């Protein structure tokens, strides 16, 4: 049942993330994503099976990128940033909503912490916070790269942009492989702020809550 909760949390998190990209794109004047069928909360429209399976097994993967045409945007440079950051922003709101729901349900003693609903909500918090901080990394094709490229668009930063564009994904892949074959917390730059934010949202130790729910 916990595995089913994990799958449901992944589907919801990825769907809301990608839908938010499409929604802001439409709001800023581009209907490319809408015409591609991406302005929907149907998970089937956003899931890339090749990227979905690794998420289930390893906790690392991807969904289908949301297409948009910057030439249709009202302000191509900064609207592209808004579209990109809409995904991480949606992850924060999902995590905050799930945390508030847990605090209400457990605080009111409506359910216990071992209830499957609480497990699902907790997974939703952790997964969305990891998606939030991972996607803020300023490396192509992650969402944070759009803000990076907008801030460093001057000609003198060309070499830096090319490094982030070409070498960034290679570095991320190397770190991912390193995290699998070793016990090093190579993604501490994601997990540390994610768990710290989780502590704030839950009003308690996220790691302690994890141990209580999963017996760790």
> With helix as H, strand as E and coil as C, how does 65-127 read?
CCCCCHHHCCCHHHHHHHHHHHHHHHHHHHHHHHHHHHHHHHHCCCCCCCCHHHHHHHHHHHH
Could you give the CA distance from residue 123 to residue 210 in angstroms, rounded to a whole number?
A: 9
| Percentage of the chain modeled with pLDDT above 90 | 58
Cα distances (angstroms) measured from residue 216 to each of 197, 199, 208: 20, 17, 9
pLDDT above 80 (res 60): no
Decide which of 214 and 189 is more confident.
Answer: 189
Contact at 8 Å (CB) between 139 and 159?
no
Contact at 8 Å (CB) between 17 and 90?
yes
Q: Which residues are annotated as catalytic?
A: 18
**Confidence (pLDDT) at 24:** 97
Pick from 120, 136, 167: which is nearest to 2 by CA? 120
Instruction: Read off the pLDDT of residues 114-156 as tens digits, 9 standing for 90 and up.
Output: 788 988 999 999 999 999 999 999 988 899 999 999 999 999 9
């Amino acid at each position: 049942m916990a595995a089913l909760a994990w799958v449901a949390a992944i589907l919801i998190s990825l769907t809301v993330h990608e839908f938010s990209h499409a929604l802001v794109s439409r709001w800023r004047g581009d209907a490319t994503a809408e015409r591609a069928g991406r302005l929907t909360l149907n998970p089937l429209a956003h899931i890339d099976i090749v990227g979905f399976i690794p998420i289930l097994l390893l906790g690392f993967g991807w969904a289908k990128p949301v297409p948009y045409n910057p030439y249709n945007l009202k302000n191509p440079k900064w609207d592209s940033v808004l579209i990109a950051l809409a995904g991480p922003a949606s992850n924060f709101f999902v995590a905050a909503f799930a945390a508030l729901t847990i605090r209400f349900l457990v605080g009111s003693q409506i359910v216990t912490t071992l209830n499957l609903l609480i497990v699902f909500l907790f997974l939703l918090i952790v997964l969305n916070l990891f998606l939030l901080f991972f996607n803020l990394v300023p490396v192509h094709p992650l969402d944070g790269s759009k803000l990076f490229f907008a801030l460093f668009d001057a000609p003198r930063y060309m070499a830096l942009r090319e490094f982030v564009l070409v070498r960034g994904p290679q570095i991320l892949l190397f770190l991912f492989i390193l995290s699998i074959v070793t016990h090093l917390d190579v993604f501490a730059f994601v997990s540390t702020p994610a768990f710290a934010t989780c502590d704030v949202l839950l009003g308690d130790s996220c790691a302690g809550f994890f141990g209580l729910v999963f017996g760790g």
